[in-house]
Structure 1
Amino acid sequence: MSYITAGKDANGHDVKLHYTDQGQGNPIVLIHGWPASHEMWEYQLAELPKHGNRVIAYTRRGFGNSSKTWEGNEYDTLADDLKAVLDELDLQDVTLVGFSMGGGEVARYMSRHGGARVSRVAFVAAVTPFLLQTDDNPDGAPKENFDKMIEGLHKDRFDFLSTFGKQFFGVGTLSHPVSQATLDWMQAMCQIASPRATEQDVYAFAATDFRQDLQAIKVPALVIHGTSDETVPIKVSGQRMTQYVPHAQYIEYDGAPHGLFVTEKDRLNQDLLDFVGVHSAAGTSATGRQGF
């Protein structure tokens, strides 16, 4: 296994971030969602490096095989961890791709670290601009939604993850966009996260306001969101993004659930290749509806 050191924890121990580094060429850094690990990018890691890209995916602290720190489960620290990845690997002209919670790391990094080393950013089913409903964010999701998540984790984290996984991929009585084997794969990936990080990161992605962070983004930007996303509903996230990043290319995947990196893997791969300026021989991108 390969690791990047991202500073030290409160007890003076090195914080190690597990990562994989595939291919050569244009650097693309993939940032995973909650509560998975970088292994969720299975289909992107298998395809994007085939087209002249160096693809790096890492696991944030508290998840997968990265260090299970007690503290640091908030976006300033997570953005600093992303900086450690870019600095240690000495990456330049980077495309950042943040999925779900990972979109928050992209936004906070761009404001906190001035977008150093980054030439493009992509937000895929991301939690940005601000999920929580407040007086000045009436279109957000009610606090009760996130309280129920915490209650479910406290009661039976493994049962919660099982139910969450079905919603994540849009599995229902009449809808089976992924196999039971894929659900099992995701369950196994998520349950090795630390309970502490799993809970604390709910508070982080729910209550962090990224609206000011997004206004710091001046590089080319891409926003992709599924219209049937029940985990991070498009009306409180994707459809609001171009208010804060007005130059962003906006793409909706009609009928896609949150876990579109699996259910729409070929389309997502092609859209990412188009965004970084690489055209796959497999065909052209079906980009769906542009704008609002």
Structure 2
Amino acid sequence: MPYVKTRDGTDIYVKDWGSGRPVILLHGWPLSSDSWDPQMMALADAGFRAIAYDRRGFGRSGQPWSGYDYDTLADDLADVMAATGADSDATLVGFSMGGGEVARYMSRHGGKGVIAAALVASVVPYMLKTEDNPHGTPEDKLAEIGENIQKDRAHFFRDTFFKQFFGVGVISHPVSDDVLDWATTTALQAGLKPTLACAEAFGHTDFRPDLASFNVPTLIIHGTSDQTVPIDAAGRPASLGIANSQLVEYDGAPHGLFATHGDRLTNDLLTFLGR
């Protein structure tokens, strides 16, 4: 069953590997479920059922004009869980933008069927800098993302965004140029409208009211050198606001942990799931 049709008729591409207790992985912006492949392989080999899907507008999923708000994205998650039968004893793992879908599912759908959650370099609880969120990203910096995407999307992703995403600099080069090329190609599979609309959603959605809905053990993983989603605006306040959560900080790590620290991330997820 490679596709699931959501309640509003959008076709969502789903990868469903292995058997056992379900682990549903939500990918980051502007990538696809393929970014989770190494972790999915390890989960399936360890006796779990690994499920990941391309967010609407991205990868191989449909590209409707609307539905890129987090309420709709959480409904998509609920529809995928129901269609795959992974709606009990499930663990939700959200990377970056995907963490917002986990948070909104927990509040909007009451965490139905979820027994554990993980937020990896997640945008939760709030990315925008405000008076009561001083460590967030300034509005003008968020606006620059949209401007650069509309000006030259390929150049922005390849030569600016993904270098910061993976911590590539003059001296530091934790991933190959091939990974940068793959990420750019994957990002360009998404439609322009979904790319811009989702950037607006993750940059301006306040998940602080959703934190109280996390009523399951929650693992929070974040790199201390994450410049895309700074830890002081995300991982650390999320751990303070979510009861029964555990924060694991990757010292000096950038945003794209699934590639730069893939083995460690996989091991930490498996250890958490084994509890």
TM-score, structure 1 as length reference:
0.91
- Cross-structure match for 2:147: 151
Q: Which runs of 5+ in 2 are unaligned?
A: none
2:228 and 2:133 mapped to 1: Cα distance?
18
Q: CA deviation at 1:135?
A: 2.9
- Cross-structure match for 2:136: 140
- RMSD of aligned residue pairs (Cα, Å): 1.1
Secondary structure at the residue paired with 1:139? coil
**Quick check: 1:86 aligned with 2:81?**
yes
- Cross-structure match for 1:114: 110
- Cross-structure match for 1:52: 47
Q: CA deviation at 1:142?
A: 0.9
1:138 and 1:225 mapped to 2: Cα distance?
19
Segments ≥4 residues shifted beyond 3 Å: none
Is the CA contact 2:215–2:243 (under 8 Å) kept in the aligned structure 1? no
**Quick check: 1:4 aligned with 2:4?**
yes
Is the CA contact 2:214–2:243 (under 8 Å) kept in the aligned structure 1? no
Deviations 1:197-230 (A, max 9, x none): 1001111001101011111111010000011111
**Quick check: 1:36 aligned with 2:31?**
yes
Q: Which runs of 5+ in 1 are unaligned?
A: 9-13, 279-292
Deviations 1:134-167 (A, max 9, x none): 2332332211110110110111111111121111
Secondary structure at the residue paired with 2:136? coil
Q: CA deviation at 1:87?
A: 0.7
Identical columns (%): 51
**Quick check: 1:167 aligned with 2:164?**
yes
- Cross-structure match for 2:174: 177
- Cross-structure match for 1:21: 16
Amino acid at match of 2:153: R
- Cross-structure match for 2:124: 128
2:52 and 2:142 mapped to 1: Cα distance?
27
1:242 and 1:100 mapped to 2: Cα distance?
15
1:143 and 1:189 mapped to 2: Cα distance?
26
1:72 and 1:220 mapped to 2: Cα distance?
29
How many pairs does the alignment contain? Answer: 273
2:90 and 2:243 mapped to 1: Cα distance?
21
- Cross-structure match for 1:98: 94
TM-score, structure 2 as length reference:
0.97
Q: CA deviation at 1:245?
A: 0.3
